[in-house]
Amino acid sequence: MQYPRIDTPVSPLRQRLIDDMNMRRFSRETQRNYLRDIGRLATFLGRSPDTATADDLRRFQIEQQQDGVPVPTMNSIVSALRFLFTQTLDRPDLARRLVRLAHPRNLPVVLSRDEVARLLNATTCLKHQAALSVAYGAGLRVAEVSMLKVADVDSERMLLRVERGKGGRYRNAMLSEDLLTLLRQWWKVGRQQGVMHRDGWLFPGQHAMKPISTRQLYRIVVEAAQAADITKRVGPHTLRHSFATHLLEDGTDIRIIQVLLGHAKLNNTALYAKVATKTVRTVTSPLDKLGLFKPEEASPDG
């Protein structure tokens, strides 16, 4: 399935780029970001990016750094330009000239189990509660929650089919008994409201023929957190972070968590070991095993 064309009419180069991204099933958001970031280079050059030289790319990245462009943004631009030069223009020699910068990753914000329960209970309607419960109970990205269809709920195999994951990858996510019960409740209510259809979206937007937007899901999380008196800065991805961290604290193998999250690299999943406080508390320090510092016993008479 191809995604609709973006901003027609377009130049031949832009169309080739869009075709290449469609062929690889890039999401509309990724396509939009790549077009925007490649446009930065075109603006810098004052001409088409297919005329860029190695020196042009070097000057472009130096100017970005001097202008204070954040490192994550610079690396995102590199990803877009590498795709352009490697896939669309067949110029891997230029792609190698682009430098990715190392930067420390911030530890993810994670909610406690009590905070998750309070947040879910603070939602204003069953649809919102069900959508956020999917984000936490299955560890889905916000875009994955948005694009779920009713047919993606496989109650026989107890799975959620994720057809439009990051990078266009397909995967199966877990479907717990409690989550299935909640989704069935939402199905019944949604049918009564006339917004749910067997071949439709699991979480319709304001128009039943369109899915709920990622922006609306973000707003739902923020408002529920405020209502639940949660002071942490949260968004839909916070629920995914909490899902992974809580599984790790419960002793789930990190490679299983990697599969459930749809991570291509184990390093991305290993980040949760740094915030799994329960896991840290279960480890006995080698100092304790030496037995050098015993707590003093209280005297019988107090």
Strand pairing category for 171-174 and 159-162: antiparallel
Q: How far apart are CA 210 and CA 59, in angstroms?
A: 43
Closest CA to 241 of 275, 292, 289, 267: 275
Q: Say how far apart CA 120 and CA 136 lie, in whole Å.
A: 10
Is residue 237 flagged as an active site residue? yes
Residue 288: CB atoms within 10 Å: 10
Residue of 16, 82, 237, 278 with catalytic role? 237
Exactly one of 118, 197, 263, 278 is catalytic; which is it?
Answer: 263
> 3-class DSSP state for residue 203?
coil
Catalytic residue among 161, 166, 171, 219: 166
Active site residue 170: no
Q: What is the dihedral of CA 203, 204, 206, 207, to 10 degrees?
A: 180
| Alpha carbon distance 18, 240 (integer Å) | 30
Distance from the Cα of residue 208 to its chain's centroid? 24
Q: Give catalytic status of residue 96 as yes or no.
A: no
- Is residue 274 part of the annotated active site? The answer reads no
**Buried/exposed 190-213: b ≥16 CB within 10 Å, e otherwise:** beeeebbeeebbbbbeeeeeebbe
Catalytic residue status for 207: no
Give catalytic status of residue 263 as yes or no: yes
Among the options 141, 164, 241, 246, which is catalytic? 141
User: Contact at 8 Å (CB) between 198 and 91?
Assistant: no
Active site residues: 141, 166, 237, 240, 263, 272
